[in-house]
Structure 1
Amino acid sequence: MKSTSFKLLIGFIIGAVTVGGYAIAIPNNVPVVKACIDNKTKALYVSSNGSCPKGRSAVDIGATGANVKSIAQSVSPSVVSIKVTSTLGSGSGSGSIYKSTSSLSYIITNNHVIESAATTGKIEVELNNGDIYVATIVGRNSEYDLAVVSINKSNLPEIPKGDSSSLAIGDVVIAFGSPLGLSGTVTSGIVSALNRPVTTGSTTAESYMDAIQTDAAINPGNSGGPLVDSQGRAVGVNSAIATLGSSFGPSGNIGLGFSIPFNQAVRIADELIATGKSTKPFLGVLFDTTYTGVGARIAMITPGQAADKAGLTVGTILKSIDGFKINDAVSAIVRVRSRVPGDQVVMVIQTPAGESKTLNITLGSAPALP
């Protein structure tokens, strides 16, 4: 699968104001077809009476591929608005209720939404019913642009959890959040691309996403809100949009939004909730930023880590990882970061002598930056 990495013109999507409201972007007068989806093969079957046999799940299909109205009603109570004020400035974003216990609730959002209040400041979470609670940061991971905050409110409705690895290009997805502070906003679209290497942030705190690309309208303020599938299950965390640059006017939705796969968010959120910290898979290399050829050339190797154990040397060029073509250092980092510590990956490399080799490499583990 060919991949293209994005660095320029990727913008964090943080809003600035909080305004009440509820909106759904959906065509009017759309006929809805009752269907059943096979739980294993994902094949669709028309249902004559709206019921489905064992092993198949009911789904409403219209021009949007999903009943957005019913999904909005069921998912919205699990979506929150987040407002941050600190000495570094103010902003707003979104989040979803990931876990809720008898004493408190944990909310997944983007690190860039709440990082300005990491040392001083105030984070407020507004629930779907308008109630507002002061939030505490549970943990942050700037390298994946994810964070978990908690509020002292029990037994809230948790966001239904989906499997982002089961997504396919063309699948219907629905974005929830508070774009430009307009809480309760819902937009629909499709998965436009998968495994899109995307980087955001500054050179000192870069985030790398193995992104889900969607044309569902995402705007400043949607950051941290969920992207759900046609059954209302979270499959992504909305994080960034492509923009045309300041010379083209204000940035906003142009049909190129990017979400962090929810499976990745779940792993990191669970670690943050358990320990306040999280990990990343570790290859143990630095790439040559001056290299302009196709692939990622190794400039430095950490002794005793995965690359060193596999026999990689300085000057080696990574050509593919798990069948994904490596175009540059960004795509190499994203491919490694998309895995889990301890995973085995298949790498095709070119040695400094020009020889092509295929290696099985077991990734190590390293602490992720907060």
Structure 2
Amino acid sequence: MTEQPLSPNQSAPATGRFGTLRSRSFRAAAAAAVALTAALGLSACGPSGLVPGNPVAQAPSAASKTQPIDFTTPTADLDSAAQSVVPGIVNVNTELGLQNGEGAGTGIVLTSDGTVLTNNHVVEGATKISVTDLGNNQTYDASVVGFDRSDDMAIIKLSNASGLQTATLGDSDKVAVGDPIVGVGNAGGRGTPTAAQGKVTGLNQSITASDDSTGSSEQLTGMIQIAANIQPGDSGGPLVNSAGQVVAMDTAASTSKGFRFNNVGGGQGFAIPINKALGVAKQIEAGNSSDRVHIGDTAFIGVSVSTANGGALVRGVVQGGPADQLGLAARDVITAVDGTSVTSATELTNAMDQHHPGDNVTLHWTDATGQNQSAQVQLATGPVG
């Protein structure tokens, strides 16, 4: 591992006030399983949040392009590119209050007043978000403006921020297989930015990631596949070309922790093209909700669930929450919300995404004795996502 001091104002290595940019060898993790970088989970999963599972990577579509992994020798150009992007990124730290845990990830600064792009799974389950800007070394409280769970993207807003340096964005449509790239982020949640050099090995890839704890799943499509040592904590960080332009957002990592992708060779990662991410970001910033995009606070019934035959099996109930007020208990099965059938944990999550705190909904469930129940309840404000 090499150490390179960095400066927020220089692309060439120079002494800086926010740590060192540490290059990571790709070879060291080439045999590790690919995994979704689940916000560096530092505790066991509770009512929400991503936990280790066994997702499967789908076969590439006919339009996709791939090539064998090529172990890239670190280059000065990519080192310089990594240095130049650091002032335009942030470290994202979350408190997972319902899980009694913490999380860490990365974000890309889009506006000087603190609009930041990151992965939804970086902030999912958060009860508090704090963000450290690497351009000025200041820490801010942050809130979620909106998220697209199905595409694993979120926009967060820093409180009382101004004058932030923004990331230089490129055109992901111009990315080609074989292009040299470098991922930059908060690897391991240690706070010091690190760089992972590699190459693009595939375009237009599709991955299905599932959570064995809750039974929920998501399909990420149109992904850029890379050979680079992306790690937990890098999620939401920039994938940068040799010109120092952000061409994608790191989302999946080569690591034995977090979500693992079977049927995909070791040492590979996946990133969301920046053009796609910006399209979602603009929709969120405009306040345009849809069946995929949720704007504002997250509605909450106060249960942890997994998929069961006939619905979402209640595994735990948050004391004092809406579900607790209705008398729901572990082993009950939620079957519908406002007349819309719920056949899985994912469908319950999707149903909640269509509502906001304060909404009144009718919940239908089958209790542990087999009796069908229904009642109206007012949704509370819950953790993010």
Normalising by structure 1, what TM-score?
Answer: 0.54
- Choose from 279, 286, 292 the match for 1:274: 286
- Aligned CA-pair RMSD: 2.9
Deviation at 1:181, TM superposition (A): 1.3
Structure 1 segment 2-41 matched on structure 2, within 5 A: 10-15=35-40
Match of 2:267 in 1: 255
Deviation at 1:178, TM superposition (A): 0.6
Structure 1 segment 1-370 matched on structure 2, within 5 A: 10-15=35-40, 64=74, 67-87=77-97, 88=99, 89-100=101-112, 104-117=113-126, 121-128=127-134, 129-151=136-158, 152-182=160-190, 183-202=192-211, 203-241=215-253, 254-275=266-287, 277=289
Which one has more relative contact order, counting CA pairs under 8 Å at least 6 apart?
2
Query: Does the 8 Å contact 2:95/2:102 carry over to 1?
Result: yes
1:136 alignment partner, SS class: strand
**Aligned residues: percent identity?**
34
CA distance in 1, matches of 2:256, 2:143: 35
Amino acid corresponding to residue 110 of structure 1 in structure 2: N
Deviation at 1:211, TM superposition (A): 1.3
Query: Does the 8 Å contact 1:173/1:189 carry over to 2?
Result: yes
Unaligned runs of 5+ in 1: 1-7, 18-61, 282-369
CA distance in 2, matches of 1:194, 1:278: 27
* 1:205–1:180 CA distance, 2 compared to 1 (3 A): same
CA distance in 2, matches of 1:66, 1:171: 15
Amino acid corresponding to residue 170 of structure 1 in structure 2: G
Normalising by structure 2, what TM-score?
Answer: 0.52
* 1:245–1:12 CA distance, 2 compared to 1 (3 A): closer
CA distance in 2, matches of 1:171, 1:105: 30
Deviation at 1:254, TM superposition (A): 4.5
CA distance in 2, matches of 1:258, 1:277: 26
Unaligned runs of 5+ in 2: 1-32, 43-71, 294-384
Match of 2:302 in 1: none
* 1:185–1:245 CA distance, 2 compared to 1 (3 A): closer
* 1:228–1:9 CA distance, 2 compared to 1 (3 A): closer
CA distance in 1, matches of 2:137, 2:163: 16
Query: Does the 8 Å contact 1:145/1:207 carry over to 2?
Result: no
CA distance in 2, matches of 1:90, 1:266: 28
Aligned pairs, how many? 221
CA distance in 2, matches of 1:214, 1:279: 30
Amino acid corresponding to residue 195 of structure 1 in structure 2: N
* 1:147–1:276 CA distance, 2 compared to 1 (3 A): farther
* 1:85–1:130 CA distance, 2 compared to 1 (3 A): same
1:270 alignment partner, SS class: helix
1:210 alignment partner, SS class: strand
> Which is further off, 236-245 or 167-176?
236-245
2:181 alignment partner, SS class: strand
* 1:236–1:10 CA distance, 2 compared to 1 (3 A): same
Deviation at 1:68, TM superposition (A): 2.3
1:168 alignment partner, SS class: coil
